[in-house]
Chain A
Amino acid sequence: MKNFNKIIIGGLLLVATLSSCKKDEEDPIIPNEEEVITTLKYTLTPSTGGTPVVLTFQDLDGDGGNAPTITGGTINANTSYTGAIELLNETESPAEDITAEVAEEDDEHQLFFEPSASDISVAYTDMDDDGNPIGLATTLTTMAASTGTIKITLRHEPAKSAAGVSAGDITNAGGETDIEVTFSLDVQ
């Protein structure tokens, strides 16, 4: 009995010693968040030439913290614009170009453009190897003047062959939303 008590007490002391000697946790490695998208830019260049209009969504500190900055724009009626999407991860320096990553996996990605005004239409001008649209390059055409918004959505692994999807209708696309931003867009 005495011996066993000694063993138990000894054992517990040993543990206590071991645990007190145990050095503090090391600093965790701060991960390199390569996948984060902080910034979306939709640059609209008039096909007739002129100053491009840039719609920008920027959230440098991720989901929490400060609210994102959203910059809408004003474009001209009855005009055709060349649209280009640029995606950036600005938590890194220099900023990482996510556009290239999307372009590389073009069959797994598609952008959708949903203007609130029916007088704005967006057409895809790029396609993946299967002949389906991607949406990094577009043409935006305006007719009558209006005030409203445009919603831009990037879906990962959408069903591009589902009904209407390649024409830009998001309804049957499915997949996972990587980006969903809304800009104010006025047509004058």
Chain B
Amino acid sequence: MFNRFLIYILLIFLPVLTFSQTCNSTISGFIKDLSTGKPISYANIYLKEAQKGTSSDSVGFFEIEAVCNGNLHINVSHIGCELQQLFFTISGDTTITVFLDHNSHILNEFEIEDEGGKSTTQETQSINSKTIGENSDKDLATMLENISGVSTIRNGSGIAKPIVHGLYGTRLTILNNGVAQSGQQWGVDHSPEIDPLVANRITVIKGVGALEYQGSSLGSVILIEPNKIDNEPHLHGEARYSFESNGLGNGLNLELQQYGKYFAWRVVGTLKKNGDNKTPSYFLRNTGSQQANLAIQIEKQWNTKWSSDLYFSSFNADIGVLRGAHVGNLTDLQQAFEREEPFYTEDKFSYEISPPYQKVNHHLLKFHTKYSLSDRQWIDFTYAGQYNLRKEFDVRRGGRSEIPALSLEQFSNFFEGKYTSFFSKSLELKTGVQMNLVDNMNLPETGILPLIPNYSSIETGFFGLLSKKYEKTTWELGGRYDYENRKVVAISAEVPRYIERSENYYQNISTLLGVTNEFHKNWKLSYNIGYTSRNPEVNELYSNGLHQGVSGIEEGQPNLTRETSIKNTISIKGSVKEKWFFEGLFYNQNIKDYIFMKPQDEIRLTIRGAFPVFKYEQTNAMLTGFDLASTYQASERFTITAKYSYLYGRDQTNELPLIYMPANSLFTELIYEIPEVGKFQNVGFTVNGKYVFKQTNLLASQDFVAAPEAYFLLGLKFSAEKQLKKLKLNFYLRAENVLNTTYRDYLNRQRYFADDLGINLVAGVNVKF
């Protein structure tokens, strides 16, 4: 892997030696666009030691005179671009060329994913560290919401899972630093246990990009990646603070890094706390949450051929669930829905988190080592251990609210050996073997029959990916094979209870073919087809019992078979005169034996009343849709963006709509930016609007209540940067739901009980040093 640093900045050093004296050197150079090579004007260049700066002119040129020799830190910033910090030692007049990744600002869709020179036929979209920093109050799924085709399924404001092209949970793989997140992903109300602030980049690979990774993905993959540590001998870092008016949330994040003499290290810590959120008219009682996360990254270059890195991350959260959403039976649910305000609503704010709430811990330890056989061939070995602990507390009788109603522990151990080779500049082979061992246990403290049984599984797989570039066409071909053995130990549903043991074996084959053609300067057309499969998850096979949140009895079916999917994507992207950018992605996915919960004709009578019964069944499903995104840069200062996502899901066997599919949405944004205002740089104003259509592809009989109406949310943002001696400050103010609109979202399960969030003002400052 090339040094990541080089992806963003190609630093060309042309030191011109003159007579070396203390403070008479001149630093000059050009700022250029990484993807087009065109000059970038109005970029700010600041020398930290000299405490002086300038900005680039119309041809991207800058010059700073009378600079002292010695160590020098240079900050290069430009509207919307990530701040680039460069370090070098000068001993005379120096000319540099800095390449900024400017397109990511224009449209995040246009980032170049050319790690290691590999060109991919996959559709990837990402958000960079600047965007992450300016949204540090949000969780992972919410941060991804502005990527077209990505939406969230949530349970109130604290629990959110990303959905890509209609798939989520165990149909979507989330990779935390290259390791598939292992936990209780099957639960709709279990959000991924990852702190997005440890990442410098979050990428969504749409289409079928997952063959390199083990996991149950039926298509899309989300990558959360920290950067490699900058090759910089001094201590650097960033501190971020944010405040949210809705929920009186406070977030603090600190990142420190240094390329030390013996090894390079980075430490990131996050503390977050918020209290009850508020709709336009009432507080949502018990919707507070708190988080304390830590990540440590250590890298060591043993020699020119051999490097290793160690990564540890810990995620710890307590997440409150709306008190009024805790219901006993259908009568309660019906009553809750008919009410204006949920039960237990109080007219005062509180930070208190009491049952029902979730307590989640997730730790990851990853060791990776890479050995280069030559410039063109290398071997990677990875070990990753994960520990996931999830406890869910309910309102219970007899003082048992202190005892979790669900208590699950999971250990997983992952081993991977990978071989990469560039046979030539245009032919790349990547192949590897992987093994993942998972042990999932119910802790017996609950006093409740567990929702899912204990199990352990071993999954072994190997893959091969070949990519070949020929003139303006890139071909990609891949295959993967997995074998899974799962041992399940369940407690019987019948009384007297007994232990049932069963064993499942699965073999999965996945294949992928992709082609990209650069048919015109700056225009690319890609086609991808992928065949993937997913084994039925333990909850789908064995869950049995009452799901309180939705007032239904859920029954698993032990004879479910695996789902198989064929997904086709066609995408076109390009730009006209560097002014107008466009991207369109069309997809069609056919999933055979798609597993879903089907309402049964039976109404089961229990002592708590009558409950509808749902059974996991299989059908043939089709998901088809498109994501469109376009940006027009009207002038140096004014940019307009529009995105539209459309999705249609159909159960083809039963000729019914698929439930829990995101509604179509339209997002537009106007950005006005000024390179310099007084002592502030890169001042930006943004107005955005999001219109979410009503989900009409749904029958009344498919839900307890009708899908919510369409809604429109208006947002405003203001941001500015300031160089304060050696500190680079970035301020932002953001207003969400400015009109304080009362709305409910189809994919927020809290919609049965309460309105969604009202106005939220966020103020934050990020200090880079």
Residues on A with C-beta less than 8 A from B505 are none
Residues on B with C-beta less than 8 A from A174 are 324, 335, 343-344
Q: Are A180 and B329 in contact (CB under 8 A)?
A: yes
Q: Are B455 and A34 in contact (CB under 8 A)?
A: no
Which of B331, B448, B607 touches A57 (beta carbons < 8 Å)?
A: B607
Q: Are A64 and B491 in contact (CB under 8 A)?
A: no
Q: Which of A92-140 contact B (CB under 8 A)?
A: 101-102, 104-105, 108-109
Q: Are B545 and A177 in contact (CB under 8 A)?
A: no
Q: Are A63 and B417 in contact (CB under 8 A)?
A: no
Q: Are B332 and A176 in contact (CB under 8 A)?
A: yes
Q: Which of A67-88 contact B (CB under 8 A)?
A: 67-68
Q: Are B328 and A31 in contact (CB under 8 A)?
A: no
Residues on A with C-beta less than 8 A from B545 are 63-64
- Cα A169 to Cα B501 in complex, Å, equals 49
Residues on A with C-beta less than 8 A from B494 are 61, 64-65
Interface membership of B9, Cβ < 8 A: no
Interface membership of B186, Cβ < 8 A: no
Q: Interface size class for chain B?
A: 35 or more
Q: Are B433 and A30 in contact (CB under 8 A)?
A: no
CB < 8 Å A-B pair total: 153
- Cα A11 to Cα B606 in complex, Å, equals 53
Min distance, Cβ B438 to any Cβ of chain A, angstroms = 11
- B390-423 toward A: CB 8 Å interface, digit per residue (1/0)? 0000011111100000000000010101000000
Q: Interface size class for chain A?
A: 35 or more
Chain A interface mostly: loop
Q: Are B395 and A157 in contact (CB under 8 A)?
A: yes
Residues on A with C-beta less than 8 A from B444 are 28-29, 31
Which of B335, B433, B447 touches A33 (beta carbons < 8 Å)?
A: B447
- Cα A57 to Cα B298 in complex, Å, equals 63
Min distance, Cβ B407 to any Cβ of chain A, angstroms = 10
Q: Which of A17-34 contact B (CB under 8 A)?
A: 19, 22, 24-34
Interface membership of B102, Cβ < 8 A: no
- Cα A26 to Cα B454 in complex, Å, equals 9
Using CB atoms, name the residue of chain A closest to B545: A63
Given A28-B444, A180-B608; A35-B417 close (CB under 8 Å): no
Which of A8, A29, A159 touches B343 (beta carbons < 8 Å)?
A: A159
Interface membership of A181, Cβ < 8 A: yes
Given A31-B446, A33-B447, A62-B495; A40-B607 close (CB under 8 Å): yes
- Cα A178 to Cα B398 in complex, Å, equals 13
Q: Which of A23-57 contact B (CB under 8 A)?
A: 24-35, 37-38, 40, 57
Q: Are A25 and B454 in contact (CB under 8 A)?
A: yes
Q: Are B449 and A33 in contact (CB under 8 A)?
A: yes
Q: Are B607 and A176 in contact (CB under 8 A)?
A: no
Q: Are B415 and A15 in contact (CB under 8 A)?
A: yes
Residues on B with C-beta less than 8 A from A180 are 328-329, 331, 607-609
- Cα A12 to Cα B418 in complex, Å, equals 12
- Cα A64 to Cα B492 in complex, Å, equals 11
Using CB atoms, name the residue of chain A closest to B306: A4
Min distance, Cβ A146 to any Cβ of chain B, angstroms = 24
- Cα A159 to Cα B611 in complex, Å, equals 24
Interface membership of A156, Cβ < 8 A: yes
Interface membership of A145, Cβ < 8 A: no
Residues on B with C-beta less than 8 A from A32 are 447
- B353-393 toward A: CB 8 Å interface, digit per residue (1/0)? 00000000000000000010100000101000000000000
Interface membership of B493, Cβ < 8 A: yes
Interface membership of B209, Cβ < 8 A: no
Residues on A with C-beta less than 8 A from B448 are 31, 33, 35
- Cα A67 to Cα B608 in complex, Å, equals 13
Residues on B with C-beta less than 8 A from A156 are 328, 395, 397
Q: Are A65 and B493 in contact (CB under 8 A)?
A: yes
Q: Which of B435-490 contact A (CB under 8 A)?
A: 435, 437, 439, 441-442, 444, 446-450, 453-456, 458, 487, 489-490
Q: Are A31 and B447 in contact (CB under 8 A)?
A: yes
- Cα A59 to Cα B611 in complex, Å, equals 15
Residues on B with C-beta less than 8 A from A30 are 491, 497, 499
Using CB atoms, name the residue of chain B closest to A101: B398
Interface membership of A167, Cβ < 8 A: no
Interface membership of B326, Cβ < 8 A: yes
- Cα A27 to Cα B491 in complex, Å, equals 9
Interface membership of A143, Cβ < 8 A: no
Min distance, Cβ A89 to any Cβ of chain B, angstroms = 11
Q: Are B415 and A12 in contact (CB under 8 A)?
A: yes
Q: Are B449 and A104 in contact (CB under 8 A)?
A: no
Given A35-B397, A68-B606; A25-B331 close (CB under 8 Å): no
- Cα A130 to Cα B514 in complex, Å, equals 71
Q: Are B328 and A177 in contact (CB under 8 A)?
A: yes
Min distance, Cβ A38 to any Cβ of chain B, angstroms = 7
Which of A7, A16, A34 touches B381 (beta carbons < 8 Å)?
A: A7
- Cα A119 to Cα B494 in complex, Å, equals 42
Interface membership of A149, Cβ < 8 A: no
- Cα A63 to Cα B511 in complex, Å, equals 44
Residues on B with C-beta less than 8 A from A101 are 397-398
- Cα A181 to Cα B489 in complex, Å, equals 34
Min distance, Cβ A149 to any Cβ of chain B, angstroms = 14
Q: Are B398 and A176 in contact (CB under 8 A)?
A: no
Min distance, Cβ A2 to any Cβ of chain B, angstroms = 11
Residues on B with C-beta less than 8 A from A4 are 371, 379
Q: Are B329 and A60 in contact (CB under 8 A)?
A: no
Residues on A with C-beta less than 8 A from B373 are 1
- Cα A25 to Cα B188 in complex, Å, equals 27
Please, could you name 6 A-B residue pairs with CB atoms under 8 Å apart, sorted by A?
A11-B417, A25-B456, A28-B453, A63-B604, A91-B495, A180-B329
The interface of chain B, by Cβ under 8 A from chain A, is 324, 326-329, 331-332, 335, 343-344, 371, 373, 379, 381, 395-400, 413, 415, 417, 433, 435, 437, 439, 441-442, 444, 446-450, 453-456, 458, 487, 489-491, 493-495, 497, 499, 501, 544-546, 553, 555, 604-609, 611
Q: What 3 A-B pairs come out closest when comparing CB atoms?
A: A177-B328, A174-B343, A180-B609
